[in-house]
Structure 1
Amino acid sequence: MTDWSAYAKGILRAEMLRKGMSYADLVTALAQNGVKESEANLRNKVSRGSFTAAFLFECMDAMGVKTLHL
Protein backbone atom coordinates (compact mmCIF):
# COMPACT_ATOMS: atom_id res chain seq x y z
CA MET A 1 0.00 0.00 0.00
CA THR A 2 1.32 3.45 -0.90
CA ASP A 3 1.76 6.12 1.78
CA TRP A 4 0.44 9.05 -0.26
CA SER A 5 1.31 11.65 2.38
CA ALA A 6 4.95 10.55 2.34
CA TYR A 7 4.90 10.52 -1.46
CA ALA A 8 3.56 14.10 -1.65
CA LYS A 9 6.06 15.24 0.99
CA GLY A 10 8.88 13.63 -0.99
CA ILE A 11 7.83 15.35 -4.20
CA LEU A 12 7.72 18.75 -2.52
CA ARG A 13 11.07 18.29 -0.78
CA ALA A 14 12.70 16.99 -3.97
CA GLU A 15 11.54 20.01 -5.96
CA MET A 16 12.74 22.37 -3.22
CA LEU A 17 16.14 20.67 -3.34
CA ARG A 18 16.23 20.71 -7.14
CA LYS A 19 15.45 24.44 -7.13
CA GLY A 20 17.89 25.11 -4.28
CA MET A 21 15.13 26.59 -2.12
CA SER A 22 14.97 26.62 1.66
CA TYR A 23 11.73 26.78 3.61
CA ALA A 24 12.32 30.52 4.09
CA ASP A 25 12.71 30.92 0.31
CA LEU A 26 9.49 29.03 -0.31
CA VAL A 27 7.61 31.14 2.25
CA THR A 28 8.80 34.26 0.41
CA ALA A 29 7.82 32.83 -2.99
CA LEU A 30 4.39 31.81 -1.69
CA ALA A 31 3.85 35.28 -0.23
CA GLN A 32 4.53 36.80 -3.65
CA ASN A 33 1.62 34.68 -4.91
CA GLY A 34 -0.64 35.80 -2.06
CA VAL A 35 -0.27 32.66 0.07
CA LYS A 36 0.54 33.52 3.68
CA GLU A 37 2.47 30.86 5.58
CA SER A 38 4.98 31.12 8.38
CA GLU A 39 8.22 29.19 8.03
CA ALA A 40 7.39 27.11 11.11
CA ASN A 41 3.92 26.27 9.79
CA LEU A 42 5.34 25.31 6.39
CA ARG A 43 7.95 23.04 8.01
CA ASN A 44 5.24 21.35 10.07
CA LYS A 45 2.94 20.84 7.07
CA VAL A 46 5.71 19.33 4.99
CA SER A 47 7.04 17.23 7.86
CA ARG A 48 3.62 15.70 8.45
CA GLY A 49 2.78 15.50 4.76
CA SER A 50 -0.62 16.88 5.68
CA PHE A 51 -1.38 19.38 2.97
CA THR A 52 -3.91 19.53 0.18
CA ALA A 53 -3.22 18.96 -3.47
CA ALA A 54 -4.08 22.63 -3.98
CA PHE A 55 -1.32 23.64 -1.56
CA LEU A 56 1.15 21.34 -3.36
CA PHE A 57 0.26 23.04 -6.64
CA GLU A 58 0.62 26.49 -5.04
CA CYS A 59 4.11 25.51 -3.91
CA MET A 60 5.03 24.14 -7.33
CA ASP A 61 3.82 27.35 -8.97
CA ALA A 62 5.72 29.50 -6.46
CA MET A 63 8.91 27.53 -7.21
CA GLY A 64 8.40 27.84 -10.95
CA VAL A 65 7.88 24.11 -11.46
CA LYS A 66 6.02 23.52 -14.71
CA THR A 67 6.37 19.75 -15.06
CA LEU A 68 6.30 16.91 -12.55
CA HIS A 69 7.32 13.36 -13.32
CA LEU A 70 5.47 10.95 -11.06
Structure 2
Amino acid sequence: MSIWNDKVKRILKSELVKRGITTEELTNLLNEIGNSETKSSIDSKISRGTFSASFFMQCLYVIGCNKIEIEEYRSSYAVLDPQVLMVAEPGDEYNTTKDGK
Protein backbone atom coordinates (compact mmCIF):
# COMPACT_ATOMS: atom_id res chain seq x y z
CA MET A 1 0.00 0.00 0.00
CA SER A 2 1.23 3.45 -0.86
CA ILE A 3 2.15 5.56 2.15
CA TRP A 4 -0.17 8.26 0.78
CA ASN A 5 -3.11 5.82 0.65
CA ASP A 6 -2.32 4.86 4.23
CA LYS A 7 -2.27 8.51 5.33
CA VAL A 8 -5.58 9.46 3.71
CA LYS A 9 -7.19 6.31 5.13
CA ARG A 10 -5.95 7.21 8.62
CA ILE A 11 -7.19 10.79 8.29
CA LEU A 12 -10.69 9.63 7.36
CA LYS A 13 -10.78 6.93 10.02
CA SER A 14 -9.61 9.33 12.72
CA GLU A 15 -12.27 11.88 11.77
CA LEU A 16 -14.92 9.16 12.01
CA VAL A 17 -13.61 8.04 15.42
CA LYS A 18 -13.51 11.62 16.75
CA ARG A 19 -17.21 11.92 16.00
CA GLY A 20 -18.16 8.39 17.06
CA ILE A 21 -19.48 7.55 13.59
CA THR A 22 -19.45 3.96 12.35
CA THR A 23 -19.12 3.01 8.69
CA GLU A 24 -22.75 1.88 8.78
CA GLU A 25 -23.77 5.38 9.90
CA LEU A 26 -21.43 6.88 7.30
CA THR A 27 -23.15 4.77 4.64
CA ASN A 28 -26.56 6.08 5.70
CA LEU A 29 -25.33 9.68 5.72
CA LEU A 30 -23.79 9.28 2.25
CA ASN A 31 -27.00 7.70 0.94
CA GLU A 32 -28.93 10.76 2.16
CA ILE A 33 -26.90 12.97 -0.21
CA GLY A 34 -27.31 10.62 -3.17
CA ASN A 35 -24.26 8.38 -2.87
CA SER A 36 -25.62 4.87 -3.41
CA GLU A 37 -22.75 2.83 -2.00
CA THR A 38 -23.12 -0.10 0.35
CA LYS A 39 -21.50 -0.49 3.73
CA SER A 40 -19.23 -3.22 2.38
CA SER A 41 -18.07 -1.07 -0.58
CA ILE A 42 -17.31 1.82 1.78
CA ASP A 43 -15.48 -0.51 4.18
CA SER A 44 -13.38 -1.78 1.26
CA LYS A 45 -12.54 1.71 0.00
CA ILE A 46 -11.50 2.90 3.44
CA SER A 47 -9.55 -0.29 4.16
CA ARG A 48 -7.56 0.05 0.92
CA GLY A 49 -7.21 3.82 1.23
CA THR A 50 -7.98 4.07 -2.49
CA PHE A 51 -10.85 6.44 -2.99
CA SER A 52 -11.39 9.61 -4.95
CA ALA A 53 -10.99 13.07 -3.55
CA SER A 54 -14.71 13.63 -4.13
CA PHE A 55 -15.58 10.57 -2.01
CA PHE A 56 -13.22 11.86 0.71
CA MET A 57 -14.88 15.29 0.60
CA GLN A 58 -18.37 13.77 0.67
CA CYS A 59 -17.43 11.77 3.77
CA LEU A 60 -16.01 14.81 5.54
CA TYR A 61 -19.07 16.86 4.60
CA VAL A 62 -21.67 14.38 5.85
CA ILE A 63 -19.89 13.80 9.17
CA GLY A 64 -19.67 17.54 9.78
CA CYS A 65 -15.92 17.89 9.44
CA ASN A 66 -15.15 21.43 8.34
CA LYS A 67 -11.40 21.39 8.94
CA ILE A 68 -8.61 18.83 9.06
CA GLU A 69 -5.13 19.40 10.40
CA ILE A 70 -2.71 18.09 7.80
CA GLU A 71 0.26 19.02 9.98
CA GLU A 72 -0.69 16.26 12.43
CA TYR A 73 -0.22 13.64 9.76
CA ARG A 74 2.79 15.14 7.98
CA SER A 75 5.32 14.36 10.70
CA SER A 76 4.80 10.60 10.49
CA TYR A 77 6.22 10.12 7.01
CA ALA A 78 9.43 11.08 5.30
CA VAL A 79 9.42 13.48 2.39
CA LEU A 80 12.60 13.47 0.42
CA ASP A 81 11.94 16.83 -1.21
CA PRO A 82 10.22 19.43 1.00
CA GLN A 83 9.07 21.30 -2.11
CA VAL A 84 6.69 18.40 -2.80
CA LEU A 85 4.43 19.76 -0.06
CA MET A 86 4.47 23.32 -1.41
CA VAL A 87 1.63 24.52 -3.62
CA ALA A 88 1.49 27.96 -5.17
CA GLU A 89 -1.71 29.87 -5.58
CA PRO A 90 -2.48 30.85 -9.17
CA GLY A 91 -0.33 33.79 -10.12
CA ASP A 92 1.92 33.47 -7.07
CA GLU A 93 5.52 32.45 -7.39
CA TYR A 94 7.51 30.70 -4.71
CA ASN A 95 11.21 31.34 -4.66
CA THR A 96 13.17 28.57 -3.05
CA THR A 97 16.81 28.22 -2.22
CA LYS A 98 19.03 25.23 -1.85
CA ASP A 99 21.80 24.95 0.72
CA GLY A 100 20.93 28.39 2.12
CA LYS A 101 21.93 30.23 -1.08
Instruction: Tell me the TM-score range normalised by the shorter chain.
Output: over 0.9
In terms of fraction of residues, the more helix-rich structure is: 1
Match of 1:65? 65
Q: Give the TM-score normalised by structure 1.
A: 0.94
Q: Distance in 2 between matches of 1:44 and 1:66?
A: 24
Q: Does 2:9 match 1:9?
A: yes
In the alignment, residue 8 of structure 2 is paired with which amino acid?
A
Shift, 1:8, TM fit = 0.4
Shift, 1:34, TM fit = 1.0
Q: Distance in 2 between matches of 1:69 and 1:53?
A: 16
Structure 1 gaps, min length 5: none
Q: Number of aligned pairs?
A: 69
Q: Distance in 1 between matches of 2:9 and 2:55?
A: 11
Match of 2:99? none
Largest Rg, 1 or 2:
2
Q: Give the TM-score normalised by structure 2.
A: 0.66
Q: Distance in 2 between matches of 1:23 and 1:14?
A: 12
Identity of aligned residues (%): 28
Provide the alpha-carbon RMSD of the alignment. Answer: 1.0
Q: Does 2:37 match 1:25?
A: no
